[in-house]
Amino acid sequence: MPYSITVPRGYYTAYNVYDYASDGPGDAYDPQSDGVKEPIACPPGSYQDNDGQTTCKYCPAGFYCDEEATSDVLKACPKGQFCVEGTIDPESCPVGTYNDVFHKISAEDCKDCPPGKYCNIEMGVEPTGDCE
């Protein structure tokens, strides 16, 4: 029988995944090689939440993944920012807008500053103040 390894959540392997009676689900090996192939951590901007996978998933919109994958890599996109699919670092709502909720997915989700208020900072979570 070929050598095998377990591919845990947060990792993937570039090799075929097989289930054997003597090994657990998600074991992987390279049938062209005599050596063991180690699992590869999913890079920032991606994750894998299932065992034994051969690819990583893009971090979904509304979340960011700023480190190599672990089982708990998805982080909620913070207030004042937005996160498109595959985000490593959340993007700031531009000056003149704000965002007072988590999980926003585009700059269009940032709210325009309301009449009588001003919003003069990036990543605003509320209007900065009243106009004089």
Query: β-pairing, 46-47 with 17-18?
Result: unpaired
Domain that holds residue 103: 77-132
pLDDT digits over 9-60, tens only?
766 666 554 433 333 333 333 444 444 467 778 889 988 888 877 788 899 9
pLDDT score of 113 more than 70: yes
Average pLDDT, rounded, for the chain: 79
Domain boundary among 54, 70, 86: 70
- pLDDT score recorded for residue 12: 66
Domain boundary among 70, 86, 112: 70
DSSP 72: T
Same domain, 82 and 57: no
Distances in Å between the Cα of 85 and the Cα atoms of 62, 63, 107, 116, 117 are 7, 8, 13, 34, 32
Same domain, 44 and 102: no
Same domain, 12 and 56: yes
- pLDDT score recorded for residue 47: 86
Q: Which residues contact 105 (CB under 8 A, 6 or more apart)?
A: 61, 62, 77, 82, 83, 84
Same domain, 63 and 92: no
- Gap between the Cα atoms of 19 and 90, Å rounded: 38
Range with the poorest average pLDDT among 47-51, 63-67, 68-72, 74-78: 68-72
Domain boundary among 55, 70, 85: 70
Same domain, 81 and 66: no
Q: Which residues contact 20 (CB under 8 A, 6 or more apart)?
A: 1, 4, 27
Tell me which of 49 and 90 has the higher pLDDT: 90
Q: What is the pTM of this model?
A: 0.73
User: Structurally, how many domains does the chain consist of?
Assistant: 2
Tell me which of 19 and 83 has the higher pLDDT: 83
Short-list 26, 62, 67, CA closest to 46: 67
- What is the CATH classification number for the domain harbouring 106? 2.10.50.10
